[in-house]
A and B are shown apart, each in its own frame.
With several copies, the nearest count.
Chain A
């Protein structure tokens, strides 16, 4: 779960990392009031989970409350890079002397945390790592022993002396966020040095481990600030992994790897997936029915591919779930169904006997992908 900038900054403040004074606004009026409260000149920042806000007009310097209002109004109306925008962050404007970078993330290849501090900030850090690797100090932190002073000395070793302790404190705060809030990534870009010598987090990127949300109800609640797509909401409520994509073939499968592979096969067959939907292991008839409803509710869908390899999942239940859903919704597109594995024969028999006109059985995964792609392309061409 990726937090908004303003949510990340609230966590930062809680753990002693200095951040600019700022106020979240959900409308132009509120943005105007916020700028007034901050004393006039301000920065209005769109709150979306996307990079490149600076270049894309998502961060606007304003000199007055009126300008703040106008900027917020435009952001909330236009959205950002195709995303809906619910809120902006209005922050004090600060005199910046220098930009740095600091981050800690869980490095999956070592199973330890990797902290990074760069003497340059406000840039694409992966680009910087390629072009001037010596600008970035890296240090692994083993969770067994936690953060030690030598880690901080090493990380801040390339900075001027007067900045080392200040940046070290920020890194220590980031580590605290990481460990106490179950984050997998905390990033500050840029970490700024003000002309008066203070060091502040000007941005905040925080990713929380979804699996750990059960012990952080207060973070789970932050989701309520996110714009909600009703389809995605329904899928999430049903425990389905659903991601909306840009193509025309609705995809339902069991297991992330199998679904990804199905997406690839559909692409190879000349069409693109409208979504990724993993019903998970041991799916019930009900979960299958909900999945089909979710996928069919997307108007871009021109055909659906149901690809099930039964392990814990029983293909007879899948067949029943499909027929159940078809009683509730009247699909206008064909549903290609491929069943293999546990009780596949029985599942195929159930579908055959039901003889639903919109269901197209397929023998193999490859065939299913080909047929679904053809159907979608034919539908789209009409």
Chain B
């Protein structure tokens, strides 16, 4: 069992005729994911190595039964694609696009509230349920199927930790890259809730970083609700306050949002927090039944 994506996932890729969209659509398909459609305005009727292209997501859904949107379009068109996917009532929207203005995202978040669509991202690597479906840009070859759920604000740091798990023979149920933008869809809370409910997940790894209070709120949730063990990691202990560290989210103001504060909040909620990616993998190995 998994969360968010599995064998029933049918992906429609917005921006499939772009360089990145094409590359990853084909890569996801090669992994075994059902990539059933693409969308590029004005290119309806074409195909990308057999994947039919449509003019709108609604057209694609009608023709192919797609149930998941994967978005690769440039930032100034990306929120439009999210609205389009939400209006087509797709249950899952994964937005890879980096660089969307945050006020645009605030409006999107407001629009999605109370709607049935779940958004992952933007500025995220996507979601993979190893051996079942890969929706996004996480390299499938570093993952193996198993019973550890993983959720992360960071891309390559996720790969690093998944890699260390896989090296120890520890497989993953689903890895969720929630992305590093200040306003985003699925966060730690939603992922933890889903993993808690997923009978295929025994333990959850959450990978946070400086900035914001997602980790602190996750800690409160864990203390109150989680019965499954959680192992954590926080990046940015040595980041100086006030500096922006790449991710729009990774900026520290005063004592709030520091790695130290986050690690302490998590430990206070019973989370075992590793100080290195390697230690995270060790803690997982020790905690698994």
Contact = CB atoms under 8 A, between A and B. Distances in A.
The answer on A and B forming one complex is yes
Interface of A: 106, 108-109, 111-113, 126, 139-140, 142-145, 148-150, 153-154, 157, 179, 182, 184, 209-212, 214-215, 241, 243, 245-246, 253-261, 263-268, 272-273, 276, 278, 281-282, 309-312, 340-342, 364-366
B9 interface: no
B244 A111 contact: no
A106 B110 contact: no
A255 B156 contact: yes
A211 B102 contact: yes
B155 A243 contact: no
B126 to A, nearest CB: 10
Interface in B73-92: 75-76, 80, 83-84, 87
Contact of B245 (A142, A246, A259): A259
B84 A148 contact: yes
Contacts of A264: 235-238, 259, 275-276
Contacts of A273: 238
Interface string B109-143: 11100000000000001000000000001110010
B154 A256 contact: yes
Nearest to B256: A126
B55 A153 contact: yes
A139 B259 CA distance: 28
Chain B interface size, under 10 / 10 to 19 / 20 to 34 / 35 or more: 35 or more
Interface of B: 20, 41, 44, 55-59, 75-76, 80, 83-84, 87, 98-107, 109-111, 125, 137-139, 142, 152-160, 163, 180, 182-183, 207, 209-210, 212-214, 217, 233, 235-240, 243-250, 254, 256, 259, 275-278
Contacts of A260: 154, 157, 209-210, 235-236, 239, 245-246, 250
A366 B156 contact: no
B80 A143 contact: no
B56 A150 contact: yes
B157 A126 contact: no
Given A150-B83, A260-B210, A281 B155 contact: yes
Contact of B156 (A150, A253, A263): A253
Contacts of B125: 311
A352 B246 CA distance: 31
Nearest to B125: A311
Contacts of B210: 260
Contacts of A182: 101, 103
8 contacts: A111-B183, A241-B246, A257-B154, A258-B154, A258-B160, A260-B157, A264-B238, A366-B278
Contacts of A258: 154-157, 159-160, 235
